[in-house]
Amino acid sequence: MSYSRDERLALCALLDETGPDAPTLCAGWTTGDLAAHLVLRERRVDAAAGVAGGPLAGYTARAQQRLRDRTPFPDLVRMIRSGPPRLSVMALPGMDERANSVEYFVHHEDARRGAPGWEPRELSRGESDMLWRRLRLARFMLRKAPVGVELARDDIEAGQGGGTGPDYRFTARNATPAVTVVGSPAELTLWVTGRRAAARVRMDGTEAAVSKLAAW
């Protein structure tokens, strides 16, 4: 089972339907910008270094805009669908799944939930467990949160198993006071990666602590 491939193909099918000008959850980006981002990330090693921000972010943004302006949208979608090029590090055995399974899940939802009328998808248990395991990276992403944060999945019962570590909850930031953010692994993934207005989660904690986290 390749979750990265399944999400990649599903996203491409959606992009074929929406065209390049549909809204997404990424602030300021249309589906055309999203497609250019994904192509640049896999095919322009020189420009991809600024994808996550930092001193090269401006260079990356300019390269992405040029790629969008100069490449017909159907060609961008075709390049995404074909996967990483043969000489890309992401074409190494197993690398596409490690590097892209969450990436393509999130960006598929960016395109799905950017339009009105969306509803959450029902993911397989395997994909949900994969997202739950990858949420361990939330410890890094939430390190500057103003309160402690515990993540808890609500799609399984305690003791059913959900991968390595705690079955259904873990501490992402150890601080007091703490808030427990509850949702499915899919919704928690979207919340952790900044899609908070579109993530269907609930927060349990004191009113003051919840307010601090919600405003962060």
Render pLDDT for 47-87 as a digit per residue (tens, 0 to 9): 555 566 666 677 788 989 999 999 999 999 999 999 988 87
Residue 193 falls within a domain, yes or no? yes
- Boundary-marking domain end, from 53, 80, 113: 113
The answer to whether residues 57 and 149 belong to one domain is no
The answer to whether residues 17 and 73 belong to one domain is yes
pTM, two decimals, is 0.90
Which domain range does residue 162 map to?
Answer: 125-215
The answer to whether residues 91 and 171 belong to one domain is no
Per-residue confidence (pLDDT) for residue 50, from 0 to 100: 53
88: left (phi over 0), alpha (psi -120 to 50) or beta: beta
The answer to whether residues 67 and 153 belong to one domain is no
Per-residue confidence (pLDDT) for residue 113, from 0 to 100: 98
Residue 204 falls within a domain, yes or no? yes
Per-residue confidence (pLDDT) for residue 164, from 0 to 100: 41
Residue 29 falls within a domain, yes or no? yes
- Boundary-marking domain end, from 83, 113, 143: 113
Per-residue confidence (pLDDT) for residue 165, from 0 to 100: 44
The answer to whether residues 86 and 137 belong to one domain is no
The answer to whether residues 7 and 55 belong to one domain is yes
The domain tally of the chain equals 2
Task: Point out which residues pair with 180 in neighbouring strands.
Answer: 150, 204
Residue 168 falls within a domain, yes or no? yes
Residue 137: what residue type?
L
The answer to whether residues 192 and 135 belong to one domain is yes
> What kind and span of H or E run contains 214?
helix 207-215
Enumerate residue ranges in the chain where pLDDT < 70.
45-56, 158-166
Residue 119 falls within a domain, yes or no? no
The answer to whether residues 201 and 173 belong to one domain is yes
The answer to whether residues 145 and 206 belong to one domain is yes
Beta strands across the sheet bearing 202-204: 169-173, 148-153, 178-183, 202-204
**Which DSSP letter does residue 51 get?**
T
Residue 30 falls within a domain, yes or no? yes
The answer to whether residues 101 and 181 belong to one domain is no
The answer to whether residues 93 and 7 belong to one domain is yes
Residue 26 falls within a domain, yes or no? yes
Per-residue confidence (pLDDT) for residue 90, from 0 to 100: 79
Per-residue confidence (pLDDT) for residue 162, from 0 to 100: 47
